[in-house]
Amino acid sequence: MIRGKSKMKKRLKWWLISLGVIILLVAGGLVGASLYFYNMTVASGKKSFVATDTRLKKSDPKYAQKKWYRDVAKEHWTEKAAGANLKLVADYISAAQSSKKTVVLVHGFGSNKEAMGGYVAMFHDLGYNTLIPDTRGQGQSQGKVISYGYYESKDYLKWVDQVIAKQGQNSQVVLFGVSMGGATTMMTSGLKTPSQLKAYIEDCGYTNADAEIAYQAKQMYNLPYWPLVPLTSLTTKLKAGFYFKDANATAAVKKNHKPMLFIHGGADKFVPTKMVYDVYRADAGPKELLVVPGAKHAAALSHNPKLYEKTVKAYLAKYIK
> Please, are residues 166 and 146 in contact by the beta-carbon 8 Å criterion?
no
* 263 assigned to some structural domain: yes
Cis upstream peptide for 227 (omega within 30°): yes
* 254 assigned to some structural domain: yes
* 168 assigned to some structural domain: yes
CATH number of the domain encompassing residue 302 = 3.40.50.1820
Q: What is the tens place of the pLDDT at every residue in 152-193?
A: 999 999 999 999 999 999 999 999 999 999 999 999 999 999
> Please, are residues 275 and 302 in contact by the beta-carbon 8 Å criterion?
no
Mean pLDDT of 15-32: 44
Cα–Cα distances in angstroms (integers) from residue 181 to residues 1, 119, 156, 204, in the given order: 72, 13, 10, 9
Mean pLDDT of 6-26: 44
Mean pLDDT of 70-88: 97
Beta strand 87-93 pairing with 101-106: unpaired
* 125 assigned to some structural domain: yes
The Cα 22–Cα 24 span in angstroms is 5
* 281 assigned to some structural domain: yes
Structural domain count of the chain:
1
pLDDT of 37 higher than 50: yes
* 214 assigned to some structural domain: no
31: confidence class by pLDDT, cuts 50, 70, 90: confident
pLDDT of 143 higher than 90: yes
* 189 assigned to some structural domain: yes
Judge if pTM exceeds 0.75. yes
Instruction: Look up the domain containing 143 and give its range.
Output: 42-208+247-319
